[in-house]
Amino acid sequence: MQIFTNEILINIIDKPTEFSEGAYIRTDSADEIIAVYEKIKETNTSPHRQYCFEVEHYEKVIEEVKKYFKIVKAAGGIVTKKNKVLFMKRLEKWDFPKGKIDKGEDERTAAVREVAEECGITTVIKDKVGVTWHTYLQNNQNILKKTVWFEMECVDDSNLKPQMEENISDIQWVKLYKTEKYLANTYQSIRSIYQAFLMRKLKKLLKKKEKKENLKKSVI
C-alpha cells in the first residue's frame, strides 16, 4: 500500500524489495508507521522522499493504519482522445478529474459523473488503472483518501469547460508522451498513477505485437 503525505511516500510492503533511496524499515508496528506520518504532517518536510516499511503481518498492519484515519472514497479518470490525455488545472496544479463517491453510487458511475461535472465531457470506461491513497487534514481530522482510477475514452467534448466553482481554471488535451511540463507541476500520486497507466498501455501494445507475430508464424 502506497500512501502519499505532503508529497512524501509511505510505502507498506509484505516482501523484501530492492531499495536505493529513502528509509527502509522492517517493523510489524502500525504505531511506528503512524509516528512517521505524524512527523511528516507536523513538519511539512522530511529528510527522505520516501519511507518503505516491510511488515510481516501485512493485512493486520494495514487495517490498524487505516483505523487512525477517516477514510474518504473517490473515483476519477485518465481520459484519452486518440493519442492525447486530458489534464485540468486546479488550484494552480495540473490534475486529473476526480471526486468523492456519492452514497449508493458505484466507483464507475462516480468516475464518469465527476469527469462530466468537472470538465463537461462525455466518456466511457475502458479499464481500471489502479488506486491511489493520500492524506490531508480537514477540521483537524486525519483523512485518508482512496481514489480508484479508470482509463476512460472521450465520446464527446463539444461542451468542454472547466468547473470554476471547483477551482478548475484550465483544461488541456496533451499528447500522451509529451506530458513532462504538466507532470512537473502536479502531485506525486498523479505522477504515480499516470506511470501505471502508461505501463499498462505499453504491455497491451507488446501483447498485441506478440499476437501478430505468432499469427504470422502460424500462417507460414
Q: Is the residue at 213 inside a domain? A: no
Same domain for 181 and 108?
Answer: yes
Same domain for 12 and 93?
Answer: no
Same domain for 180 and 154?
Answer: yes
**DSSP state, residue 164:** G
Q: Is the residue at 214 inside a domain? A: no
Boundary of a domain, candidates 47, 66, 85: 66
- Under 8 Å between Cβ of 161 and 119: yes
Residues listed for the chain: 220
SS3 174: strand
Residue 219 pLDDT: 62
Amino acid of residue 216 = K
Q: Is the residue at 25 inside a domain? A: yes
Whether residue 220 has pLDDT greater than 60: no
| pLDDT tens figures, 107-163 | 999 999 999 999 999 999 999 999 999 999 999 999 999 999 999 999 999 999 999
**Please, what is the angle between helix 58-66 and helix 30-43, to 10°?**
40
Q: Is the residue at 212 inside a domain? A: no
Same domain for 59 and 88?
Answer: no
Boundary of a domain, candidates 66, 95, 122: 66
Q: Is the residue at 216 inside a domain? A: no
Q: Is the residue at 47 inside a domain? A: yes
Per the structure, how many domains does the chain have? 2
Alpha carbons within 13 angstroms on the beta-carbon side of residue 146 total 12
- Under 8 Å between Cβ of 6 and 17: no
d(CA 126, CA 72): 24
Boundary of a domain, candidates 20, 35, 66: 66
Q: Is the residue at 128 inside a domain? A: yes
Same domain for 119 and 180?
Answer: yes
List the domain range (segments joined by +) for residue 19.
2-66
Residue 87 pLDDT: 98
CA nearest to 154, candidates 182, 198, 215, 112 = 112
| pLDDT tens figures, 45-102 | 788 889 999 999 999 999 999 999 999 999 999 999 999 999 999 999 999 999 999 9
Cell numbers given for 59? 493485512
Same domain for 87 and 110?
Answer: yes
Same domain for 56 and 156?
Answer: no
